[in-house]
Amino acid sequence: MIVFKGVSKSFKGFLAVKDVTCEINDKEVFGLLGPNGAGKTTLIMTMATVYRPTKGEVIVDGHNASIEQDKVKSLIGISFQDPKYDRILSAREILEWHGKVTGVEKSVRGKRIDEVLAKFGLTAESRKRTWTLSGGTKKKIENAKIFVQRPKVAVFDEPTAYLDVPSRLMVWEMIDELRDEGSTVLLATNMMDEADRMSDRVGIMNRGEMVQVGEPATLRGSLRGRDIIEMKLEVPIPELPGEVSKTEEVKEARFEGDTLKIMLSNGRGLLPYLINVVTAKGGKVQSVSLKEPTLEDVFLHYTGMKLS
Amino acid sequence: MSERPSTLFVIWVLVERDLRTLVKSPFILINRTIFFLIQLFVFAVLVSKLASSLGFNYFDFYSVGAVVSTITSIAFIIGEDLFEEEELGLLDYLLSLPFGHSLFVVGRALGGAVRGLIYVTPMMILVAYLDGYFSPAGIAGSLIVIFVLATGISGLSITLAMLIRNANRFDIIIALAELATVRVSAAIYPLAFMPKVLQPVATYSPVTSASDIVRAIFLSGYQSGVYETVILVLFVAVFFGLGSAFLFRKIEGGRFE
């Protein structure tokens, strides 16, 4: 289990992580959701003992990350958001060195490297210097380090950034395998579909704070009774959110670009009425949709901002 | 799941990484090798002819100094590596690996020295051959001497890298430091021919000490004693300690934030 107890981390007066308290269970995939700059990476680096918390403590598998650094680090493997390795070296050399330094036995190391390279379709390029490879390939190598290491706590920071669809699916499948083998997975992402598909639970971070933690379905359920009507207008009319909010069932209304987004209960019943309100105010409706809350809506609800 | 590696193993793996990256930079290797050979077979031969009227064999004198100055130059690279690792975010990766920060510091300092040693070993053997010295034990002893020097220079480079936070400023300072340590020493010219004002500084230079000790091993007519050894050991103790302490403090205190 990983426990964050009132963890804060500041850099020269800037508070990057603010009083985060949460627990991550063994063998679960915990999605850490938040926009760039939300504090996800700082929280991860604090857990990995790279940063020392300014306040609070992180306990990993019973070990305090500030005191028993070596023990904590021997449990963790991090796939960084931006690939971090010697780009003068080849993929095979990078994986060989990473496996060696993280204690993967020689007898299994070579075979595991071959398997991971093959899964990512990197066998042919495995001896090229990595600085000559594409961004997506570099990212695959960054992820591959963890699949070779197979740590007890695997951290993936934006694991599918720069990847094409087949590669994303492959990474997801391999993360699932890792969890099935007994690893706890911490998945930092700003992709809702990834968090929704992969996570047993998600933590929503915004401006350094952990604003909500729960299972994706539960979080979506917390917005039950909150249907969402999206009306795309020819031209946005600023007073419309205020106007539709006069209706008792409307919980929230706002413009996102030229789309009026209305969160409400009984959306189906009120749809004709709301269209009338909009058109009466001169709004020209181009399209209308009615949908259930998504994780993106949950994020919007708790942070007041869109993730992407 | 993986096992936690031993201390010695971790130090070796950290050193191995430095070696791998050095081997993968053939341009640097070729460049410095060509420079060494030209200095030895053109510059030293030429000056040796000029100095022969003084009854002084400059070629023999310089050949040892060339190896010592080359390893000094290579050992200084470690500071640049630290800046580059920070810039590329590699330091985050290295610090997240399963070994303590203090072990990381020791590994980096030793890595700088070991790669220098491996690089100059063929040069040292060539110089021993040219100087007519064939004792394996003596050659091994001379390699130990320059390894000790390189460890201290690595410490000095790390210390400067930790004190100077700007990469451009560091490049200038490190170039000056390298120039000073090699030129204000008896590596490439005898103390007696140096300007009087520099002689006291050069006398206490660890580069002078290392050069004198190796010359005493390889060449007849040269002597060294406890004095040179003490200077060398003190230099290593101070800068290996300072470099390690500064790097450790920076890592522990939130690093280059």
For residue range B56-103, what is the model confidence (pLDDT) as tens digits? 889 999 999 999 999 999 899 888 888 888 888 888 898 888 887 778
Total count of residues recorded for chain B: 257
Please give the sequence-ordered ranges of beta strands (E in DSSP) within A113-258, or none if there are none.
153-157, 184-189, 201-206, 209-214, 227-233, 250-256
Structure tokens at A187: 């998945």
Dist. CA A271–CA A285, nearest whole Å: 12
pLDDT of B68 reads 96
The predicted model scores a pTM of 0.79
**DSSP 3-state of A31:** strand
Strand order in the sheet with A63-64: A14-24, A2-11, A55-60, A63-64
A88–B24 C-beta distance less than 8 A:
yes
Judging by beta carbons within 10 Å of its beta carbon (0-12, 13-18, 19+), is residue B28 exposed, middle or buried?
Answer: middle
Q: Please list, in sequence order, all residues whose beta carbon lies within 8 angstroms of the beta carbon of residue A111, skipping any fewer than 6 positions away.
A: none
DSSP B39-84: IIIIIIHHHHHHHGGGT--HHHHHHHHHHHHHHHHHHTHHHHHHHH
**In this predicted model, what pLDDT tens digit does every residue of B110-129 receive, in sequence order?**
888 888 898 899 999 999 99
pLDDT of B255 reads 47
With pLDDT > 90 as the criterion, what percentage of chain B qualifies? 46
Dist. CA A10–CA A246, nearest whole Å: 43
Structure tokens at A214: 């729960």
ipTM: 0.78
Dist. CA A125–CA A251, nearest whole Å: 54
pLDDT of B257 reads 38
Residues of A in contact with B16 (CB under 8 A): 97
Q: Which of B93, B249, B255 to mutate to test the interface with A (most CBs of A within 10 A)?
A: B93
Nearest to B183 by CA among B196, B161, B201: B201
The series of mean pLDDT values per 10 residues for chain A, 308 residues long, is 94 89 95 88 90 92 90 93 89 95 92 96 92 92 96 94 91 95 93 90 93 88 78 92 90 90 84 91 91 81 71
Compare CB distances from A102 to B2, B21, B254 and report the shortest one's residue. Answer: B2
Residues of A in contact with B256 (CB under 8 A): none
Residues of A in contact with B92 (CB under 8 A): 45, 50, 80, 84
Nearest to A199 by CA among A217, A177, A224: A217
Nearest to A160 by CA among A118, A125, A195: A195
Structure tokens at A205: 């971070």
pLDDT of A225 reads 66
B90–A101 C-beta distance less than 8 A:
no
